[in-house]
Structure 1
Amino acid sequence: MKNVLIPLAAAVALSGCFVPSAFGQQTTASEHFDEAPAELDDLVVTASLEPVSINDVASSITIISREQIEQKQVKYLADLLRDVPGFSVSQAGGVGAQTQVRVRGAEANHMLVLVDGIRANDPASADEYQFQYATTANIERIEIIRGPQSSIWGSDAMAGVINIIRSKDARESWLSGSAEGGSFSSFDGAVDGGLSRENFRLQGGISYATTNGINIARAGDEKDGSDNTTANAGLEWDLGDAWTLVASGQYVDAESQFDDVDFYVTGLPTDTDRETRAERTYLRGELRFKPTGSRWSGSASINYTDSDNKNFYDGVFNSSTAAQVVDARARGSVLLGEEQHHRLTAAFDYIDTDFSQRGEALPWGDPNQDQSYDQTSLAAEYVGRPLEGLTWTLSGRYNDFSDFDDITTWQTAISYKATEVIRLRGSIGTGFKAPTFTERYGFYPDQFIGNPDLKPEESTGWELGFDSRWAEQGVSFGAVYFHQNLRNEIDGFVFDPDTFLFTAVNRDADSNRKGVEVTFGWQLLQHIDIAANYTYTDSTEPMADTDVRELRRPRHMGSLSVQYSFASDRGYANLNLSYTGKQYDVFFDPATFLSERVKMDSYTLLDLAGGWKITRSLELIARITNLTDEAYEDVLGYSTRGRGYFGGIRGRFDF
């Protein structure tokens, strides 16, 4: 595939960016490709190299709107994802504590997270997105694609993609804000706004959240709090009929306290004065080319990510990691055929990543280091409608790494509208995940040493399902079966007898993840909306001569949300239930120096939120979290929040 992709990608990408506007007819590319001009909410930007109608996407997809976020009044992204099919959350304590999110039983760093299209996984933190620093303030929309997406997005997208979209593509000016306080000495406030003129749109926002938190250790009374400040801005400027300049940025400044594990006596977290200070900067600049009436469109962009993580023990600096990523992209698309129901897109990507680690040098090892690697990718994608009601997608990507062997990934998918109410869909594709800097070069005294000879993880995944919708009855129902095989899985807890430290190695045997997702929705009497989903996940890995369930992957998960509007939509109430089934974690016993698998109890979280409009623009809000005061743990030994009460006000003014 390498020889096919290189000339195809180069030709289409270059012609898409620079072809004159004399070609084509008097409608835009998106209007031709869609059966009818699509509304903005019907288009998704994450599932394909170019925006595509949601009805043409065969992969499992979830869209979360700003309205849904406000109705649930969920303040942190990880809590919101508990209600998404296939997602499990592992939080080591309360707000601000280390948080991992897994989809369909995959590893936490097998899912790519984007912030307004910018790669946000942190190379300085095991290539995982740091969900503990992600609030929902000023988020306009979230697009979630499940299943392998490496042919579109490359490494990190082995199991799916989350795109957090803060920019709002609207021809209006507005100002909105909110303030809330409550239990655990918590306060959060946010303000955002936008200014729209004939040829440009400008918007921005800032939010602040603070809490004294809870004691995340089982014993003791020392509370572990957090602070978070997030600012974002965006600009869209029309430079004539064909060219548009887009710029966006986000800055995060967060502090969180945590407790260390007592590896000498109990093997569990114990009260300690530990703190992490993190900074994140995401910047993007893009030039888009899309002349009215042309079959051609294109874009070129450059993105920059900077992350800095510092750890303090008893108020004194202990260690740090940092990373900088430069991501340059070019895209080009052309519509083919008389009806223009076929689209060919090519892409060029170049990513340069730098990593640094700082800490105290010891006689038997020095953690201080600077590392880097780069990758160049060429991709091509075909999206077309060869038959009425049928959409076929085929994509491939060639990846050239400075430090690894070349890797080619592909995906093909079909979406078919079988009847007026039923859509059948299926997809199969491959994915890969490059080893992290920590796995290759990391050094933590008395604990871990990296392995520079690691190979990338690779996978093959497929899914088959259907979606149905009865518009008159307000009912929707869907189900999908998924399966993924993981090869060269990296095990980061292998004892190295030469160094007496743990290290990382590629496993010889494969891991497998499979399961079922079921979704249901019902709009009842125009005032009640019901949404429910259930996921069964069987995620196993080899151990000795058998397969065992992977850690922190519940087999059964589900959620139920009931939204009730009253008084001519002046008031509303939202009841949300989230269920997490039994799962395994690991316990290290300091007395025996052995690790054992521990089965953790299932739990159910019940949240209640409500609001009342006191004017057209102002609304009083209130919520109760963990209504039943459920005691539970996501990670063995780490306590979580009990019942909480919160109240506040929010408003929106349109100009």
Structure 2
Amino acid sequence: MGAIAQSPPGELDTVVVTATRTAVALNDVLADVSVVDAETIARSGAVSLADVLVHLPGIEMTRNGGPLGTTNLFLRGGNTNHTVVMIDGIRIDTQSGSGGATCQAIPASQIERIEVLRGPAAAVYGSDAVAGVIQVFTKGGEGGFTPSLGLGVATHGTRTVTAGVRGAQAGWRYAVAVGREVSEGYNIQPAANPDQDGYARNTASLRLGKDLVAGHQLNATWVYSNADAGYDSTTNKNSANYAKDNRTLQRLSALGVNWRAKWSDAWSTQLALTRADDRYATLPAPGAVPSYDTKTQIETALLQSTWTDRDVSATVALERRDDRLRNAGTQPQDTRRSQDALALGYGHQRGAHHWQVNARWDDDSEFGRHTTGALAYGWAFAPDWRLTASAGTAFRAPTLYQRFSEYGFAGLAPEKAFNRELGVKFARSGHAFSAVAYQNRISNLISFAGPGACASTFGCYANTARAKLQGVTLSGVTHTANVAWSASLDLQDPVDATTGKRLARRAQRLLKLGAETAWQDWSLKADVLLSGDRYDRVTDARPLLPGYGLLNLSASKALTPEWTLLLRVDNLGDKYYETARGYATPGRTVFAGLTWTGR
């Protein structure tokens, strides 16, 4: 899947909610947003959310191992923990280590739609939204009773099966899906730990909705993923872990309930209660006692009121977030923190001019009050053209592990960021182009430093770093004859602001190309991903991760009105490359799948 996956700027029938937490036509959004639809996700053959996102503008992915290995997403060069990830409004995160959502745990098979907001959004979402927001929407119910079944086989002995039912009846909407994936895997560390690192994962999702009375809806979401995956804990042959069948257990459960009420044509409210549980454990061998076991629980409550009248919109939101970490390596082993927030938003459009203002006040039980704000302006200076400019602040509170583990330090301060960006967008009849230049300065950056104020003599977390994330993102889509073309180019310079060295595992240049066409009842697609070289660690004297290029091909065809065939080849040239030094990528992979949808 390439950049064609995103809806072109200016699609009037596309509505997004992530930018301001209210429904806004994509044509009117002032932020830098991409949308991935259900058809694109289905054709991608992706295992997890991260595999879908990697082909969007401004996103890089690194992975220590196979499809379910530790995955990092760098949005505009920011760290993984600088991006908020949500499922149907449910915040997903972990308070262990440096934090950040475990995107590899979110199954792609149960995703209907993805919205990606590039740029700080702490004035809307609070802590962690330093680089952007990724929101996943699961499959919902509509129409009559519709069952479905999917079967797939792929390289490395990979087998998948999914089943589900969707529909609506008597005011109820429902969607239920289950899935299982198993793979023999491949050797992710050929030079050190010679074993096959396979995995098995079970997934499930449930969406329920009920129309109570006119204008009032009650909705519930549950998403579940439970995986057992092989991994290699070391690249050193002399390590005690060498040649062992290390395993990881990954379990994610996300539950949310929300009530939406439309009191008049202008006034609506939303009440949402959510809870996400994330467990990660490592085992030295199958069935062994975990050598590391950590559990994060995040609960949120949101009450939001929205007023929309002609060209004016206003929001007021109260939000409560409670974080809990249970980890044997923290003192105490069960730690908690809470944040209470008030958020205000105001948008005004008059003629060719559009303003959006957001402000938020967060009161953290550990770190006190933090005020964040954002101001954006858009000017339609010519038909189909718009100039945008924005500035915003953000913050990220340290994780509970960074505070209470033996490497933690009570004096840690939240990271702070200030972002500025300028963009120009064009959209006309399926043709679109955008160019966005940005600079995001982050202070109080938390890094793992040498021995200091913590209990460990090995090293401590400390506010020792500053970062400057700057660059330009160019993207566009167009059509010629029977071919849809897409492209994105990221020219970025994410650096340590103190030393001037590029941040680890981030390239300066990323080019993504896509082409899609139809031929004799087949839908054909090709995409290319080109990445520049990268440093494996910021202390390296030179880039040790060379640049690489990948070509992916896919073809799908409706065999009957109910049955669809999907064929896909990733990394057609069997290019050997690494996103983390010492960890191999799977090489050329072939996928064949059949889906059946009842009519």
**TM bracket (short chain):** over 0.9
Q: Which amino acid aligns with 1:642?
A: G
Name the counterpart of 1:523. Answer: 479
Q: How does 1:82-161 map to 2 (within 5 A)?
A: 82-124=54-96, 126-161=98-133
Query: Deviation digits for residues 527-572 of structure 1, max 9, x if unmatched?
Result: 31111111011011145xx3211111110111111112122xx211
Q: Helix, strand or coil: the match of 2:104?
A: helix
Task: Answer with 347-356 or 301-310: which moved more.
Answer: 301-310
Q: Distance in 2 between matches of 1:394 and 1:587?
A: 37
* 2:40 aligned counterpart, secondary structure: helix
- Give, in whole Å, the separation in 1 of the partners of 2:270 and 2:431: 39
Match of 1:581?
Answer: 532
User: For 2:458, which of 487, 501, 514 is the aligned residue?
Assistant: 501
Secondary structure of residue in 2 paired with 1:330: strand
Unaligned runs of 5+ in 2: 1-10
For the pair 1:557 / 2:510, whether they are aligned, the reply is yes
Distance in 2, Cα, partners of 1:587 & 1:422: 40
Q: Within 5 A, what are the aligned runs for 1:448-597? A: 449-471=407-429, 474-496=430-452, 499-507=456-464, 510-525=466-481, 527-542=482-497, 546-567=499-520, 570-586=521-537
Contact 2:180 2:201 in 1 (8 A): yes
Residue number in structure 1 paired with 2:312: 342
Conserved? CA contact 1:126–1:437, under 8 Å: no
1:134-283 superposed matches below 5 A: 134-168=106-140, 170-219=142-191, 220-261=193-234, 265=238, 270-283=242-255
Q: Distance in 1 between matches of 2:493 and 2:434?
A: 20
Matched residues in 1 for 2:382 and 2:144: separation? 38
Q: C-alpha offsets along residues 293-352 of structure 1, whole Å, 9 cap, x if unaligned?
A: 43211011110111222211134221201121110110012234xxx2211110000111
- Candidates 585, 595, 599, aligned match of 1:650: 595
- The Cα offsets for residues 443-467 of structure 1, whole Å up to 9 and x where unpaired, read as 4xxxxx1112110000001211111
Is 1:632 the equivalent of 2:577? Answer: yes
| Equivalent residue, structure 1, for 2:555 | 610
Mapped contact 2:414–2:444 kept (Cα < 8 A): yes
Summarize the Cα distance change of 1:170–1:503 in structure 2 as closer, same or farther, 3 Å threshold.
same
Tell me the distance in 2 between the aligned counterparts of 1:169 and 1:464. Answer: 39
Does the 8 A contact of 1:218 with 1:270 survive in 2? no
- Whole-angstrom distance in 2 between the partners of 1:621 and 1:273: 34
Query: Equivalent residue for 1:379?
Result: 343
- Give the number of the structure whose alpha-carbon radius of gyration is greater: 1
Q: Which residue of 2 aligns with 1:354?
A: 324
Q: Does the 8 Å contact 1:346/1:379 carry over to 2?
A: yes
Moved more, 457-466 or 312-321: 312-321
For 1:528, give the aligned amino acid.
V
Q: Is the CA contact (8 Å cut-off) linking 1:49 and 1:381 kept in structure 2?
A: no
Pairing 1:331–2:278 present: no
Question: Could you say which residue in structure 1 is the equivalent of 2:3?
Answer: none
8 Å contact from structure 2 (residues 140, 174) kept in 1: no
How many matched pairs?
A: 585
* Matched-pair contact (CA < 8 Å) for 2:551–2:571: yes
How far apart, in 1, do the equivalents of 2:352 and 2:163 lie?
A: 43
Deviation string for 1:46-89 (max 9, x for gaps)? 11132112122111100000111223333332222221111010
In structure 2, C-alpha distance between the alignment counterparts of 1:146 and 1:587, rounded to whole Å = 24
Moved over 6 A (4+): none
**Counterpart Cα distance in 2 of 1:530 and 1:164:** 25
SS at structure 2 position matched to 1:356: strand
For residues 224-281 of structure 1, the C-alpha deviation after alignment (integer angstroms, 9 at most, x for no partner) is 11112111111111111132111111111111111122568589x9533211112111
For 1:623 and 1:151, how far apart are their aligned partners in 2? 41
Q: How does 1:351-430 map to 2 (within 5 A)?
A: 351-358=321-328, 369-385=333-349, 387-430=350-393
The separation in 2 between residues aligned to 1:314 and 1:587, in whole angstroms, is 32
Conservation of the 8 A alpha-carbon contact between 1:541 and 1:548: yes
Q: What is the TM-score of this pair, normalised by structure 2?
A: 0.93
- Partners of 1:181 and 1:227 lie apart in 2 by 14
| Cα distance between partner residues in 2 of 1:187 and 1:162 | 28
Whether 1:619 aligns to 2:560 is no
2:141–2:175: 8 Å Cα contact kept in structure 1?
Answer: no
Check conservation: 2:502, 2:538, Cα contact below 8 A.
Answer: no
Instruction: Give the 3-state SS of the residue equivalent to 2:501 in structure 1.
Output: strand
Work out the CA distance in 2 between the residues paired with 1:616 and 1:476.
33
Q: Are residues 651 and 356 of structure 1, via their aligned partners in 2, closer, same or farther at CA, if it must alter by over 3 Å?
A: same
The percentage of aligned residue pairs carrying the same residue is 26
Deviation at 1:601, TM superposition (A): 0.2
Paired amino acid for 2:320? Y
C-alpha contact (below 8 Å) 2:544/2:581 kept by paired residues: no
Separation in structure 1 between the aligned mates of residue 494 and residue 527 of structure 2, nearest angstrom: 27
User: What displacement does 1:597 show?
Assistant: 5.8
Cα separation, 2, equivalents of 1:235 and 1:98: 32
AA aligned to 2:531 is T
State the secondary structure of the residue aligned to 1:600: coil
In 2, Cα distance between the equivalents of 1:93 and 1:325?
27
Change (3 A) 1:643 1:218: same
Distance in 1 (CA, whole Å) between partners of 2:294 and 2:239 is 29
* Contact 2:92–2:298 under 8 Å retained in 1: no
Rounded Cα–Cα distance in structure 1 between residues aligned with 2:183 and 2:449: 34
What corresponds to 2:7 in structure 1?
Answer: none
Partner of 1:295: 266
CA distance in 2, matches of 1:499, 1:280: 30
- For structure 1, which runs of at least 5 residues remain unmatched after alignment? 1-37, 360-365, 444-448, 589-594
Q: Secondary structure at the match of 2:159?
A: strand
Q: 2:404 aligns with which of 416, 441, 452?
A: 441
Asked whether the equivalents of residues 515 and 535 of structure 1 are also in contact (C-alpha less than 8 Å), the reply is yes
* Corresponding position of 2:47: 75
- 1:333 touches 1:345 (CA, 8 Å); kept in 2? yes
User: In structure 2, do the counterparts of structure 1 residues 477 and 294 end up closer, same or farther at CA, with 3 Å as the change threshold?
Assistant: closer
In structure 2, distance between residues paired with 1:216 and 1:132: 16
**CA shift in 2, pair 1:135/1:579, >3 Å:** farther
CA-CA distance at 1:171 after TM superposition: 4.4
Q: Quick check: 2:123–2:343 contact (8 Å CA) kept in 1? A: yes
